[in-house]
Amino acid sequence: MKSCGEFERERSELDSLLKSGIFNRAPNLALVLSYVCSKYFDHKANEIKEYNIAVEALDRPPEFDPRADAIVRVEAHRLRKRLKDFYRAEGADRTIQIEIPRGQYAPRFLILGDAPAVSIVSEEIAPLPVAADTLPATPVPTQDIPAAPAIPAAPAIRTEGPRLLQRRWLVLAAVLLLCTALPMVRLHGGHTAPLASSLDRLAIKPSETIRIACGLESGDYVDQSNNTWSSDTFFSGGTAIHENVRSIRGTRDPGLYIRRREGAFRYDIPLKPGVYELRLHFAETVYGPDSAGGGGESSRVFAVAINGHTALSQFDIVADREAAAADIRVFKDVSPSSDGQLHLQFMPLSNMPIVSGIEISPGVPGRMRPIRMVARDRGYTDKQGRYWEPDRYAIGGQLNVRNEVVAGATDPDLYRSERFGNLFYIVPVAEGRYRVRLYFAETWFGPGNGGRGPGTGSRIFDILCNGVAVRRDFDIYKEARGSNRALTLEIPNVTPNHQGKIVISMPPSQNYTCINAIEILDESR
Per residue in 218-259, pLDDT tens? Answer: 999 999 888 999 999 999 999 999 988 778 998 989 999 999
Count Cβ atoms below 10 Å from residue 241 Cβ, excluding itself. 22
* Last residue within a domain, chosen from 51, 86, 120: 120
Same domain, 85 and 48: yes
Return the higher-pLDDT residue of 290 and 236. 236
Lowest mean pLDDT, pick from 133-137, 410-414, 508-512? 133-137
**106 in Cβ contact with 36 (< 8 Å):** yes
- Averaged over 465-493, what is the pLDDT? 96
Same domain, 90 and 233: no
| Nearest one of 44, 232, 264, 246 to 135, comparing CA atoms | 264
- Averaged over 282-304, what is the pLDDT? 88
Same domain, 197 and 281: yes
Residue 449 belongs to domain spanning = 371-522
What pLDDT does residue 292 have? 67
Give the N- to C-terminal CA distance of the chain in Å, as an integer. 79
Same domain, 337 and 434: no
- Averaged over 64-91, what is the pLDDT? 86
Per residue in 513-524, pLDDT tens? Answer: 999 999 999 998
What pLDDT does residue 245 have? 76
Phi, psi of 187 (to 5 degrees): -80, 75
Per residue in 158-204, pLDDT tens? Answer: 334 444 444 444 444 444 443 333 233 233 333 222 323 333 333 33
What pLDDT does residue 2 have? 63
Same domain, 10 and 50: yes
What pLDDT does residue 125 have? 28
Residue 156 placed within a domain: no
**510 in Cβ contact with 475 (< 8 Å):** no
Signed CA dihedral, 313, 314, 318, 321: sign only: negative
**281 in Cβ contact with 256 (< 8 Å):** yes
Domain tally for the chain? 3
Percent of the chain clearing pLDDT 90 (strictly above) = 56
pLDDT-based confidence at residue 471 (cuts at 50, 70, 90):
very high
Checking if the pLDDT of 392 tops 60, the result is: yes
CATH number of domain containing 172: 2.60.120.430
pTM of the model: 0.63
* Mean pLDDT, the chain, integer: 82
Return the higher-pLDDT residue of 409 and 113. 409
Secondary structure in 3-state letters for 249-294: ECCCCHHHHCEEEECCEEEEEEECCCCEEEEEEECCCCCCCCCCCC
pLDDT-based confidence at residue 153 (cuts at 50, 70, 90):
very low
Residue 175 placed within a domain: yes
What pLDDT does residue 514 have? 97
